[in-house]
Amino acid sequence: MSSRFGVFSSSVGTKILIGVTGVALFLYLVIHIAGNLIVFLGPAAFNRYAFVMEYGNPLLPVIEIGLLLIFLLHVYKAVTMFLANQQARPVAYVKKKYAGKPSRKSFASSTMIFSGLWLLFFIIIHVKAFRFSPEYPWPAGGRDLYRQEMENFVSPLTAGFYVLSMVVVGSHLWHGIASAFQSMGADHPKWTPRLLTTGKVIAVLMAGGFIVIALWAHFVGART
């Protein structure tokens, strides 16, 4: 092996990196949705949560930069892999069909690059709206994130864009959760079939959860 670093540019090393960063991003998403659900407890609880996460947290810059790097690595590796894979079959089939079970191919698995790029676009807008926009102060400390969120979801266009993007998140996770483990070499006769199902259930719950929050903010929260 020429260098331990060059290993990660091989086809298998690339998979490992996309899988590992994918799992890390997924874990972040779990924390994210858990925090977001606090919105249902009202402005005081939600803003208190935001305050603890943002102001009482000396690790915040490290986490933010780490997350950004993980995200960029995931995107970079996935895009370069996609482009290289396109090269691997210069002449397309005239007719190509789904080969049937036990293939795991799905609409979600076939569109990972597109769902991924959509999410890249979404995340830029999303981070701009909640991290780099004017804030309202909250008397008990920190910012009034609750109000910021409700104002964000007033527009049906924004709410619609968020709902659609969360469907895309669900699609990405539908294939991505189990796929990430396979990419890292994790496989077990009993646990892999369970993981395949669990991954899909989590994908639906995750997308569903975010969608409920967005719809609630649009129809209920923003009007009260």
Partner 1 sequence: MRLKLKIWRQAGPGTAGRLVDYAADHVSPDMSFLEMLDVVNEGLVKQGHDAIAFDSDCREGICGMCGLVVNGIPHGPDRGTTVCQLHMRRFRDGDTIVIEPWRARAFPVVKDLVVDRSALDRIITAGGYVSVNCGGAPDGNAIPIAKEVSETAMDSAACIGCGACVAACKNASAHLFMSAKISHLSLLPQGQIERYRRVVAMIEQADAEGFGSCSNEGECEAVCPKEIPISNIARMTREYFRALWVGGR
Write each residue from 49 to 78 as x if it is in contact with partner 1 (CB under 8 A), else as -, in one continuous string. ------------------------------
Q: Smaller CB distance to partner 1: residue 103 or 224?
A: 103
Q: Out of 59, 61, 189, 223, name the contact with partner 1 by CB under 8 A.
A: 189
Q: Does 93 bind partner 1 (CB under 8 A)?
A: yes
Our finding on whether 111 is near partner 1 (CB under 8 A) is no
- Name 39's Cβ contacts closer than 8 Å, sequence gap at least 6: 46, 146, 149, 213, 216, 217, 221
At its nearest, how many Å lie between partner 1 and the CB of residue 67? Answer: 24
Give the nearest distance from C-beta 181 to partner 1 in angstroms.
8
Rule CB under 8 A: is residue 48 a binding residue for partner 1?
Answer: no
Site string for partner 1, 114-153 (x = CB under 8 A): ----------------------------------------
Query: Total residues at the site for partner 1 (CB under 8 A)?
Result: 46
Binding site for partner 1 (CB under 8 A): 1, 4, 7, 10-16, 81, 84-85, 87-105, 109-110, 112, 175, 178-179, 182-187, 189, 192
